[in-house]
Amino acid sequence: MRLPSYDVVIPTLGRASLGALLGALAKGAGPAPRRVILVDDRRQAEPGLRLAGDAAALGPLRVLASGGRGPAAARNLGAAASRADWIAFLDDDVVPAPDWRARLALDLASAPPNVAASQGRLRVPRPAGRAPTDAERRVIALEHAPWITADLAVRRSAFVSLAGFDERFPRAYREDTEFALRALRRGFELARGTRSVTHLLRPGGFASSLAAQRGNADDALLAALHGRRWRERLGLPRGRMRGHVLASAALAAALAAAAAGAALASLAAAGVWALLTLELFTARVAPGPASAREIADMALTSVLLPPWAVLQRLRGHARVARLRASGALAWPPLRLVLLDRDGTLIADAPGNRDPARVEALPGASTALARLRRRGVRLAIVTNQAAVADGRLSEDDLVRVNQRVDELLGPFDGVFVCTHAEGMGCGCRKPAPGLLLEAMRELDARPLECALIGDTAGDLEAARAAGVRAVLVPNQATRREEVLTAPERACDLEAAVSLLLGARA
């Protein structure tokens, strides 16, 4: 059985626990990762992350800086640097078990083709001699959470196809849930692996429960993207937002009635608020806080929590409204589409040197116009080996490309490899050189790009560049190329619809 290759990507804020993670990973048994990629997600990246001495056994660590844009952006940056079959994401506050590497290899090798990701088993140690605090119970609840990225290995082809994590989720909250919902909608599945990690038990202070309510803003975005019943689709319990809204409304009604001099109405509304607040406090205290101090803290935060949670949800709805108004509600923000030329945009005529023979394929003009209307930049990436073997001159190539631009342009760039097969260049597809050059010149990241082509060479170049790819087969496309394509469409217009999705 062939064991697939994997890279490990760790977004980190430079916490001391990173050293323990790397040390455990280095000492583990089983196939080692091809590469360990650390993404420093501090706003001001500092040299010298605190690493354990054993981490040297992993070989050179690649360290990238994401500028403090959040874990979703950090994971995307790390994934773009990976070239392995799978990307194993680990948070920097987990410690892999000694057999983690060996079990990961088996988990990945046994994953069916429709499995996009394999989730490890999370274990959270309980505090000794006392019941866990409210903050600690939130960490313990991660043991049963689906699709969390503390230990999530994602098939690289699926990651590229799904365009990674949605970077509009700025915290370590709901970005994994959104990725899961998008994967399920595309027909992928999640597997539970046999490997395990230990998640460190973080203490929480007085305000930790209030800070956690910021996630309600992310819930508003999640509902806008995937519908109000997104919890049911993942088998998650219903949240407490309805109770928070009722409690907040009752409190507001009590205050308004008191200001208007309606004493009975104010008393009735205050009674409803008191009952709802007492229910929340009781539910939080029931599992057994450790001290009288925590009980007092929970009493106060149970009063503050509902209106604060509602305020965060309203803040989230306001952000959704701004995104919808700007047309930026869909993910990912598609900024650049790379297009193969012959057989994709124009009829394939090998070695054609006559501009008059250039024929746009049916629907190509309409499809490209849709992309331009959405502000998507367009570039051609094409192999033209006929220049190398003398069938086509450089001037002929320029004239033919000018005719393509007249029929289907304007294009933001035309990137051509004129080398023959076997010359060992890095630009001829399936090498990624043309795509990387186009992204560099047009200032786009891989997760903001897509390629449309008609051969396996196009798809392989996209895979190597970390770009999503759609195959549009024609008569020259081999059957095996069609069967193995991660995404395919019947024509260019259908490919554009697939890429635009909800944006169309």
H helix intervals, 28-123 = 71-80, 100-109
* CB distance 201 to 93 below 8 Å: no
Which residue carries 């989730």 as its tokens?
Answer: 119
∠ CA 221-223-224, nearest 5°, is 65
Distance of CA 384 to the CA centre of its chain: 35
Give catalytic status of residue 340 as yes or no: yes
Long-range contacts, stretch 310-318, CB < 8 angstroms, 24+ apart? 310/216, 310/241, 310/244, 310/245, 310/248, 312/213, 312/214, 312/215, 312/216, 312/217, 313/216, 313/217, 313/219, 313/220, 313/241, 315/217, 315/220, 316/216, 316/217, 316/218, 316/219, 316/220, 316/221, 317/220
What residues does 481 pair with on adjacent strands? Answer: none
State the catalytic residue, choosing from 41, 342, 396, 458: 342
Per DSSP, the three-state class of 381 is strand
For 229-247, give the DSSP string. Answer: THHHHHTPPP-SHHHHHHH
Round the CA-based radius of gyration of the chain to a whole number and report it: 27
Cβ neighbours for 415, distance < 8 A, ≥ 6 positions apart: 379, 380, 381, 382, 434, 437, 438, 441
Which residue carries 């469409």 as its tokens?
Answer: 489
Which residue carries 């939080």 as its tokens?
Answer: 284
Closest alpha carbon to 120 in 95, 157, 156 = 95
Which helix (DSSP H) or strand (DSSP E) does residue 153 occupy? Answer: strand 151-155
Q: What's the count of helices (H) and strands (E) in the chain, helices before strands?
A: 18, 13
Closest alpha carbon to 157 in 23, 4, 276, 34 = 4
* CB distance 367 to 495 below 8 Å: yes
CA dist 425 and 429 (Å) reads 10
State the catalytic residue, choosing from 166, 219, 340, 454: 340
C-alpha distances (whole Å) from 318 to each of 94, 217, 303 are: 35, 9, 24
Known catalytic residues are 340, 342
